[in-house]
Structure 1
Amino acid sequence: MNNTKQSLKIVLLGRKHWSAKALEYLIDRGHEVVAVVGRQVNDELDSSKGSLVETATQLGILTPTSEELYSWFDDSMNSPIAIDEVDLVISYLFWQKVKEPLLSAPRLGAINFHPAPLPEYQGLGGYNAAILNGCTEYGVTAHLMDEGIDSGDIIKLNRFNIDEDLETALSLELKSQIHMLDLFKETVELIEMNQHRENLIKNIKSNGIYIDREMFESMKITDENDSSEEISRRIRAFWYPPYEGAKVKVGEQYYTLTDQKILSDLSKLIHS
């Protein structure tokens, strides 16, 4: 076992203010983040809490587009960063599939932080599916990346309890992000000690479901045959303003549904 802490050179890909917190943690641990890819500040829903690109800019870190970053890895001789010195690529809520050469060029490979338990919920909609399925437990996952989606070996999976009768997509996302930042810190410490490959768990994709965009959208739809319990659960499963929630089709138009509990919660926010 190697007990010597490594100082790493890292490329960080991410979104939401949580990825900015991840960046700050890496810097606090003494690592060098050589490039960051994220959404522009105005494109981040939670930018008032801080954004990855804004934080990186303040720290003097390069913020290329994903296309520019790939060109740097493809043409290392003309790259503004030393590609052969990059130890790790990290994807933290990144919205694009990470491809070669970002997967194999880094010395320690590429790691993704997935806001759902693997292999149960791959792709989109983990929060939503867990609520629809009446789960009492959820989880977040750190895994090695390969050319598939959410298919690499699992480094660490942290599970936690959730309320099957009260959880909404919004509340579950918040809980998950708190747990995922903890998972990120734990995983970084494993990587620092070169222990992140010691207890890998095989990620057997057939043991879960892969939710693509088409399936995700179909999961929102309710109809006249659904029970009141099913409708209520679907409303909670997709309650995440300003995005379209659970919906019903009237004529040729879809309408988003809500319920009294959510309206009461909104009223407290509006009138407080």
Structure 2
Amino acid sequence: MRVVFMGKSKRSAVRALDWLVARGVEVVAVVAPEPDELTHEQQRLDLAARRHGLLGVSEAELYANPPADVDVVISFLFWNLIREPLISLGRVGCLNFHPGPLPDFRGVGGYNVAILEGLSSWGVSCHFVDEHFDTGDLVEVERFPIDQAAETAFSLDLKSQDHLVALFERVLQRVLDGDEVPRVPQGDGRYLSRAEFDELRVVRPGDDLGRKLRAFWYPPWPGAVVDVDGRRLTLVDEPLLADAAAAYRDAGRLP
């Protein structure tokens, strides 16, 4: 089987790529983001591709010279809207693995909204890619319980990535086995834009402060914020500080 793999700087994306290679899948091209100073080596998809001797290409290069005889184009948390000819390039299709339950949580900010709304369960999805963000036919949604009293955006991401890898392995094993991949139209759903996400981060009168702080706790990125004297400040409470202190301790960052 020949695949194109487009992914993000996440350990889950590296695990997914490793799984393909371990099963003898021919990965003909890997599109990975440029690393920054916050990216750990274990998250670097470009290093994983190099370790396996795979061809790393830019997104522009892939569109300019798409490979032939591709079975599946895989988008694993890929950050840009995928266009033709990639949507139709694969014999099976173009599959996206999304860290939220579709169609209810398209776009960004799913973890945050899940906590703000006090949900007791969450999910991850696989769907076929069409010309819009997160709207193509569904393959499968995997749901799991979450702790609505203690979950943070960071902890929910950690849980979701494990479930997303499990879903990836299950779907791709179907493809490897030659089984039909189900596809069910999504129907209506909601989409959160980046601008709407930024507005949600602002603490306003009447907000459940503890819940809002947890909903946007994802260091080192800014969390729930207040505007003071022209400055935007991130708020942290004692439980979140304890969480950060434990991370420093485990990393050996001690005075």
- 2:124 is aligned to 140
Contact 1:11 1:86 in 2 (8 A): yes
Q: Could you give the per-residue CA deviations for residues 30-66 of structure 1, whole angstroms, max 9, x where no partner exists? A: 11000000013x3274423242111111211111110
Q: Secondary structure at the match of 1:262?
A: helix
Relative distance call for 1:196 and 1:149 in structure 2 (3 A) is farther
Residue-pair matches, total: 249
Q: Percent identity?
A: 40
Structure 1 residue 22 and structure 2 residue 16: aligned? yes
Aligned equivalent of 1:232, options 203, 210, 222: 210
1:61 matches 2:54: yes
Residue number among 72, 81, 90 corresponding to 1:106 in the alignment? 90
Which amino acid in the other structure matches residue 62 of structure 2?
A: L
Cα 1:183–1:45 change in 2 (3 A) is farther
The residue number in structure 2 matching 1:201 is: 184
SS in structure 2 of the partner of residue 10 of structure 1 = strand
Query: Counterpart of 1:3?
Result: none
Once the 2 structures are TM-superposed, how far is the Cα of residue 190 of structure 1 from its aligned partner?
1.4
TM-score by length of 2: 0.93
2:11 alignment partner AA? H
Q: What pairs with 1:71-82 in structure 2 (closer than 5 Å)?
A: 71-73=64-66
1:49 aligns with: 42
Q: In the alignment, does 2:194 pair up with 1:213?
A: yes
Q: How does 1:155-166 map to 2 (within 5 A)?
A: 155-166=139-150
The one-character-per-residue Cα deviations of 1:145-196 (angstroms, maximum 9, x if unpaired) are 0001100111011000000010000000000000100000000011123334
User: Is the helix fraction higher in 1 or 2?
Assistant: 1
C-alpha distance 119-132 of structure 1, shift in aligned 2 (>3 A): same
- RMSD in angstroms over aligned alpha carbons? 1.4
- Of stretches 50-59 and 136-145 in structure 1, the one that deviates more from structure 2 is 50-59
Residues 154, 196 of structure 1: alpha-carbon distance in 2 compared, 3 angstrom cutoff: farther
Q: Match for 1:216: what amino acid?
A: F
Unpaired stretches in structure 1, ≥5 consecutive residues:
1-7, 74-82
For 1:180-191, list aligned pairs within 5 A. 180-191=164-175
Which residue number in structure 1 is paired with residue 156 of structure 2? 172
Look up the equivalent residue of 2:110 and give its one-letter code: G
- Provide the rounded CA distance (Å) in 2 between the counterparts of 1:195 and 1:215: 40
Partner SS for 2:73: strand
Deviations 1:210-259 (A, max 9, x none): 01110110110112x224xx111111011001111100111322110111
Counterpart residue number, 2:5: 12
Aligned letter for 1:265?
A: D
